[in-house]
């Protein structure tokens, strides 16, 4: 066989490029091969980009989360995959974009599991790498396969998609069933008082917020007028299970204790803990210790409560001697909302606080405040403190943590960005598709493009601009992070380039979108 000299040169260069990539990969893994680090993902619910003092809040102080941001990497372009919970969590745990799964939408409390038992997941991948895996907190990815009997083992659920242990609330704090589920079984259930859940109709004779408003201590604004538990009207109907009902004001302490106990019990070998906290989602029910502490009403109070909880949890890691061998990732499932269905003074007492941190939109929105969220990586002694503007997304944790623990995961949507997450490079993603209410947009470099969509631009109930217009939107986020100026008409070439990239990534022509 004989090669022309320039072909030979090309092959030699290629060989060296491949070899240097391989040795870079080894470098990430070097430390890890000594001892696999524990991995803890602390995931808040509806916390906004501007809700932390480390992200610019001046009216609220969050010293414990700030300590992670200041001692780790504070990402300024960190994204959730979606502007609502279920799709974001789906992407985070599977590494698959939520718009590839039609079921990845806000689920009711009785919806079936939307992750297939045969699908790859982050905890499954880590289990294969020798990790013990657990979730404590909010699930909201469905349970069972339809018609769950809540009085028996509830399966499939987190334990069937990769978690060795699970201690969860099924959906959200505002949805029934309002009970904790411990490895598939409702905790504290009295067999003589079986529990029933229905999302279509009420159980005969059971009070609801509509029939018995005098029984409610928190008033509903929109939705949230079905069964009443602990004086709080919820979404969905529930009967029985009295002894098993959770205490809303104790929820933060309760999950904290579970998370602390998990660390104490599993610290000898590597563990992955997904700590899915419920704050500051509605109903906001701070423990009396925090009531009134923020001066902003319950929304501010539960943020302070969450910050305290995180401080206690980090102390536990330290006391148990594992802090320096634990990578902590902190983020939120979607952006902020003030009134999400209850009268709780969130808007009225907001004062100068801006949960959006200068971004536009909010929860449910394709505009930045919907998906750009606080995103922090912290690893005492390993990560050098810095601020990174790299584009990173929670969906990337699957491929990245695979690399950290020594394997290469072949994924389409999840990008391997471990060096970025460890602060070894400032280079993040080139492109990212974000989602809100099944509609998608493209972030690419400094630019964001939202295709034309039919639908209501402004969600009056929650008072949020959801970012939908019947024409193209194009924003330069570097110069205009508040998305005030739509440049779609002024920058036709950029728009065209964005459309092309979007269509390639979505695998669909823009005019074929059914919502168009
Ligand atoms: C909405 C609820 C809202 C919240 C949201 C889910 C109404 C009117 N609104 O349907 O209160 O529960 O679902 O939030 O019912 S998420 O953060 O879990 O996506
Ligand atoms: Ca949420």
Q: How far is the CA of 136 from the centre of ligand 1 (A)?
A: 20
Pocket test for ligand 1, best of 235, 278, 370, 435 (most atoms within 8 A of CB): 235
Average pLDDT value for the chain: 94
pLDDT digits (tens, 9 = 90+) for 289-307: 999 999 999 999 999 999 9
Q: How far is the CA of 108 from the centre of ligand 1 (A)?
A: 9
Ligand 1 close to Cβ of residue 84 (< 6 A): yes
Ligand 1 close to Cβ of residue 368 (< 6 A): no
Residues 378 and 488 in one domain: no
Residues 421 and 441 in one domain: no
pLDDT at 33 over 50: no
Sequence-distant contacts of 180-188: CB under 8 A, at least 24 apart: 180/244, 180/246, 180/254, 181/139, 181/143, 181/154, 181/157, 183/159, 184/153, 184/154, 184/155, 184/157, 184/159, 185/153, 185/154, 186/150, 186/151, 186/154, 186/241, 186/244, 187/244, 188/243, 188/244
Residues 379 and 412 in one domain: yes
Report pLDDT for 511. Answer: 78
Among 24-28, 102-106, 267-271, 474-478, which is the least confidently predicted range?
Answer: 24-28
Residues 325 and 301 in one domain: yes
Residues 185 and 207 in one domain: no
Structural domain ending residue among the three candidates 207, 238, 269: 238
Residues 144 and 215 in one domain: no
Asked if the structure places residue 28 within a domain, the reply is: no
pLDDT digits (tens, 9 = 90+) for 452-468: 999 889 999 999 999 99
- pTM, rounded to two decimals: 0.94
CATH number at residue 450: 3.30.1120.10
For the chain, the domain total comes to 3
User: E strand or H helix at 316, and its extent?
Assistant: helix 298-319
Report pLDDT for 35. Answer: 82
Structural domain ending residue among the three candidates 390, 409, 425: 425
Tell which atom from ligand 1 comes closest to the C-alpha of 235: 15
Which ligand sits closest to the CA of 276? 2
Tokens read off for 295:
């001066």
State which residues form the domain around 473: 433-512
Residues 309 and 352 in one domain: yes
Residues 348 and 414 in one domain: yes
Q: How far is the CA of 319 from the centre of ligand 2 (A)?
A: 31
Pocket test for ligand 1, best of 98, 225, 281 (most atoms within 8 A of CB): 281
Q: List the residue whose alpha carbon is closest to atom 4 of ligand 1.
A: 340
Residues 225 and 182 in one domain: no
CATH number at residue 388: 3.40.720.10
Asked if the structure places residue 290 within a domain, the reply is: yes
Structural domain ending residue among the three candidates 361, 390, 425: 425
Torsion sign over Cα 3, 4, 5, 11: negative
User: What is the band of 368 on the pLDDT scale with cuts at 50, 70, 90?
Assistant: very high
Asked if the structure places residue 224 within a domain, the reply is: yes
Asked if the structure places residue 223 within a domain, the reply is: yes
Annotate 14-83 with three-state secondary structure. Answer: HHHHHHHHHHHHHHHHHHHHHCCCEEEEEEECCCCCCCCHHHCCCCCCCHHHHHHHHHCEEEEEEECCEC
Q: How far is the CA of 297 from the centre of ligand 1 (A)?
A: 20
Contacts of residue 3, defined as CB under 8 A and 6 or more positions apart, other chains included, come to 11
Pocket test for ligand 1, best of 172, 436, 460 (most atoms within 8 A of CB): 172
Mean pLDDT computed over 225-235: 98
Mean pLDDT computed over 218-239: 98
Asked if the structure places residue 18 within a domain, the reply is: no
Q: How far is the CA of 90 from the centre of ligand 1 (A)?
A: 16
Mean pLDDT computed over 241-246: 98
Residues 311 and 407 in one domain: yes
Residues 85 and 216 in one domain: no
| Nearest CA-CA partner of 157 in 131, 180, 125, 132 | 180
pLDDT at 200 over 60: yes
Residues 213 and 273 in one domain: no
Mean pLDDT computed over 395-424: 97
Which ligand sits closest to the CA of 107? 1
Report pLDDT for 315. Answer: 98
């Amino acid at each position: 066989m004989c090669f022309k000299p320039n072909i030979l040169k090309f092959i030699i260069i290629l060989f060296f490029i491949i070899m240097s990539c391989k040795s870079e990969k080894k470098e990430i893994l070097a430390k890890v091969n000594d001892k696999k680090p524990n991995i803890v993902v602390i995931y808040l619910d509806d916390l906004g980009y501007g809700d932390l003092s480390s992200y610019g809040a001046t009216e609220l102080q969050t010293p414990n989360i700030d300590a992670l941001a200041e001692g780790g990497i504070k990402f300024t372009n960190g994204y959730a995959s979606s502007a609502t919970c279920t799709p974001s969590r789906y992407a985070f745990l599977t590494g698959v974009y939520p718009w590839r799964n039609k079921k990845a939408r806000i689920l009711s409390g009785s919806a079936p599991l939307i992750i297939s038992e045969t699908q790859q997941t982050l905890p499954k991948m880590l289990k294969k790498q020798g990790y013990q895996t657990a979730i404590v907190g909010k699930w909201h990815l469905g349970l069972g396969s339809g018609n769950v009997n809540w009085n028996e083992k509830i399966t499939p659920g987190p334990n069937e998609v990769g978690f060795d242990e699970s201690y969860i609330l099924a959906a959200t704090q505002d949805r029934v069933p309002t009970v904790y589920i411990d490895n598939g079984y409702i905790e504290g259930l009295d067999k003589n008082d079986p529990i029933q859940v229905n999302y279509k109709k009420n159980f005969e004779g059971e009070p609801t917020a509509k029939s018995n408003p005098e029984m409610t201590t928190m008033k509903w604004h929109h939705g949230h007028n079905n069964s009443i538990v602990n004086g709080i009207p919820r979404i969905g109907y529930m009967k029985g299970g009295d002894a098993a009902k959770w205490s809303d004001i104790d929820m933060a302490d309760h999950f904290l204790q579970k998370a602390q106990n998990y660390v104490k019990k599993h610290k000898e070998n590597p563990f992955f803990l997904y700590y899915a906290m419920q704050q500051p989602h509605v109903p906001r029910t701070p423990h009396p210790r925090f009531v009134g502490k923020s001066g902003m009403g319950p929304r501010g109070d539960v943020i302070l409560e969450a910050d305290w909880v995180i401080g206690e949890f980090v102390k536990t890691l330290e006391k148990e001697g594992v802090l320096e061998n634990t990578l902590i990732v902190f983020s939120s499932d979607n952006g902020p909302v003030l009134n999400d269905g209850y009268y709780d003074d969130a808007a009225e007492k907001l004062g100068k606080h801006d949960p959006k941190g200068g971004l536009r939109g909010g929860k449910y929105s394709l505009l930045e405040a919907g998906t750009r969220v606080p995103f922090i990586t912290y690893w005492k002694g390993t990560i050098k403190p810095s601020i990174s503007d790299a584009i990173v997304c929670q969906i990337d944790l699957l491929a990245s943590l695979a690399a950290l623990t020594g394997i290469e995961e072949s994924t389409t949507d999840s990008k391997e960005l471990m060096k970025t997450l460890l602060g070894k490079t400032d280079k993040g993603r080139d492109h990212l598709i974000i989602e809100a209410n099944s509609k998608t947009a493209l972030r690419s470099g400094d630019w964001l493009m939202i295709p034309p969509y039919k639908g209501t631009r402004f969600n009056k109930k929650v008072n949020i601009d959801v970012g939908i217009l019947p024409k193209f939107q194009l924003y330069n986020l570097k110069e205009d992070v508040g998305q005030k100026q739509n440049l779609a008409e002024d920058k036709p070439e950029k728009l065209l380039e964005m459309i092309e990239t979007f269509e390639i990534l979505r695998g669909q022509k823009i005019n074929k979108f059914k919502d168009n």
